[in-house]
Amino acid sequence: MFNVVFVLGPPGSGKGTICSKIQENLGYVHLSAGDLLRAERERAGSQFGALIESHIKNGSIVPVEITCSLLENAMNLHKTANGFLVDGFPRNADNLSGWSKQMSGKVHEQFVLFLSCPVDICINRCLNRGEGRTDDNVDSLKKRVETYNNQTFPIIEHFGKLNMVRKVDSERPVEEVYEDVVKVFEAANQM
């Protein structure tokens, strides 16, 4: 059974940055749903490239069957990992129900790491990220934030009702955020 930590927060809240550091130090494997979708978009022969790009530009959510299969395939490549950081998933009700259908009995969901940061700061971080992403522009970011507010935040609230959310303020410098994140992992792994 794979241990899974979902990592959620607004676009630009620092999910990828913090997950890299956890992967480096705590033996969890970082799987970013967005990165997996971008890789699938670029894969020669993929039948989903155009569909994925259209969702990415519009800040909308790709059907779960595609994303969940990419995640499960990636997990199966790292069978000895301590656990997986599933970054940017589940993002909406379709993601959540599809994941439950495909993954129940195969994973243990430890908790949800919620990186909380004001949206104006997040948008500025994305606009200055400098990675050439097709969705790091003002139009796409407006739509991504709308999707986050209307579809993703309710998923965080859903997990909150199950007492699974560990919230960390990610408006602060990376090192400070990471220090608190490590405490969350230490507490979870002592139980």
Ligand X SMILES: Nc1ncnc2c1ncn2[C@@H]1O[C@H](COP(=O)(O)OP(=O)(O)OP(=O)(O)O)[C@@H](O)[C@H]1O
Binding residues for Mg ion (CB under 5 A)? 15-16
46 is in an annotated binding site: no
Going by C-alpha positions, the residue among 157, 159, 2 that lies closest to residue 81 is 2
Inter-residue contact 143 to 59 (CB < 8 Å): yes
Among 8, 22, 31, 34, binds ligand X (CB under 6 A): 34
95 is in an annotated binding site: yes
Residue by residue, DSSP assigns 138-169 as: HHHHHHHHHHIIIIIHHHHHHHHHTT-EEEEE
Quote the least distance from Cβ 61 to ligand L45E5XJ5, whole Å.
Answer: 4
Among 62, 75, 96, 112, binds ligand L45E5XJ5 (CB under 6 A): 62
Query: Considering all CA atoms of the chain, what is the largest pairwise distance in Å, rounded to the nearest integer?
Result: 45
- Residues within window 116-175 making contact with ligand X, judged by CB under 6 A: 125-126, 129, 170, 173-174
For residues 45 and 175, which CB has a smaller minimum distance to ligand X in the complex?
A: 175
125 is in an annotated binding site: no
Residue with the closest Cβ to ligand L45E5XJ5?
34
- Edge-to-edge strands, sheet with 107-116: 28-32, 83-87, 2-8, 107-116, 165-169
Quote the least distance from Cβ 33 to Mg ion, whole Å.
Answer: 9
For residues 110 and 152, which CB has a smaller minimum distance to ligand L45E5XJ5 in the complex?
A: 152
Among 2, 16, 84, 92, binds ligand X (CB under 6 A): 16
